[in-house]
Amino acid sequence: MKKIVFPDTNIFLHYQSIDQIDLPDLLKCDEVELVMAPVVLDELDDKKWGHPFPKIRERAQQAARRINTWISVDEDIRPGLSMNLHFARPNDGTLKKWQLNPRSNDDLLFGTILEYIDSNPDHEVYLLTGDTGSRLRAESLRINVVILSDDYRLPPAKDEYQKEMQRIRNENLALKARFPSLSLLFADSSERLVITIGPQFSSLTKEMRDHFNEVNSDIRVQSAKYLSLDDEVTSASDPLSLDLRELDARLKATFSLENPSEDEIDRYRQEVNDYPQRYKTYLLQKLQIENEHRRTIRIDLGISNSGSALAEDMLLALAVPDHLAWCQEPSGHMPSRPPKPPKPPRSQSQILRGEMNDTEWLDGSFLFGSGFAQIPNTNQPEPKISNSGLVLEWEVGDCRQQRDLQLEPLFVRFSTADKITNFQIDYRIDEKNILKPVEGSLLIVVKKQGISDSD
């Protein structure tokens, strides 16, 4: 009994030569006819010159020569084993019927086998392969399959290309061992930092408003005793009704050297009236600076050298998005004291003596909330403008192999509250012994406590 066998391409590239395999014994028959499909011949021809591995190219060339010899001579390859060519390619109807892809070489081989089966229903036809994927696909198309065992597979000998690639890899590893291996990390040795930013206020907080009302009330109480004499004289409904001696006494008291003049009292009254607005302006300025402080992030970085060589004369450059800016410390300064309260009206004798009569009843020690942490001064470098935007660049010195170099704290600030979002820091490390700069990025995840108008 004869069986028809269609070998696929991998049989000729990864297994022993077909004449070394006893296919009649494997298929339990008297005779096996190998039928070469056009697509298999095409694949072998392509791999003779186009495969990247020299060893595969060599095997494809040897297989093509053997096939040409076996077909040319009118005799069996070995007892019970012959070979013939099948020139017909599968037509579009067959491909469409079996849902085969015309751009897949495997599907073209399946189409050829299916058409051969339809034309030769009395023949027992098989696909010969070593590929599990091809076997499963063929069986789904109701094609008989013969799988060659790994006993026939060629040993995985490295070809010259693979040997050369391995040699290059080994040289690269040896070369890398002579240079530092650098990376920039956060203080916890990670590339991701999670920070929390406090709320931003656009108007005075409840604590500030209560304090403002308290200060305003104290000013009014303090000023009452200085304005009472003036109010008493000017508020008299009919000065002429007063006893002349009493009026004369009051006038003498009013214009004596020991009492303030009318101009001094007017000056004091005006300052009392202006003080609430001055104090409110101070509070708003203080609030604005506190908001700016809350939008400022402290970043602790370090350079890690995991290589086996010293990193020398390193130059570090950092860049952040446009809506952030590098800073050394919060811009501006917290007002140390609130505006001085109005100076009480001075008597003529005090003016002549040059006494200022300053009061110390308001010490300016009021602090707003506990959410603001003072940001320390650092020795970090000044930001510079480059072609890539605002960057921070400075020399950071040396770092020994298998060591970390901790850098001075850095500060970065969001321009406005609506710009507070996650961002990344792009970095570049130059070192005199490495061939190209080390580039990378670090991610900062921002969690907001809330954006608030007031408490």
Q: How many CB atoms lie within 10 A of CB 453?
A: 11
**What CATH number did the domain enclosing 26 receive?**
3.40.50.1010
Could you give the CA distance from residue 318 to residue 394 in angstroms, rounded to a whole number?
A: 9
pLDDT score of 169: 83
Residue whose tokens read 């298929």? 27
Looking at the 3D structure of the chain, how many domains does it have? Answer: 2
Q: Which of 133, 152, 171 is the last residue of a domain?
A: 152
pLDDT score of 374: 34
Does residue 11 fall inside a structural domain? yes
Is there a single domain that holds both residue 269 and residue 347? yes
pLDDT score of 247: 47
Integer angstrom CA distances of residue 71 from 32, 66, 83: 15, 9, 6
Does residue 114 fall inside a structural domain? yes
pLDDT score of 223: 82
Does residue 60 fall inside a structural domain? yes
**What CATH number did the domain enclosing 242 receive?**
2.60.40.10
Give me 337's structure tokens. 């004291």
Is there a single domain that holds both residue 360 and residue 302? yes
Taking the model in full, what pTM does it have? 0.49
pLDDT score of 55: 84
In which residue ranges of the chain is pLDDT below 50?
Answer: 229-242, 247, 251, 255, 356-380, 387-389, 455
Residue whose tokens read 């820091």? 425
pLDDT score of 219: 86
pLDDT score of 31: 95
Does residue 177 fall inside a structural domain? no
pLDDT score of 112: 96
Could you give the CA distance from residue 373 to residue 325 in angstroms, rounded to a whole number?
A: 19
Q: Which domain holds residue 248?
A: 182-452
Is there a single domain that holds both residue 118 and residue 193? no
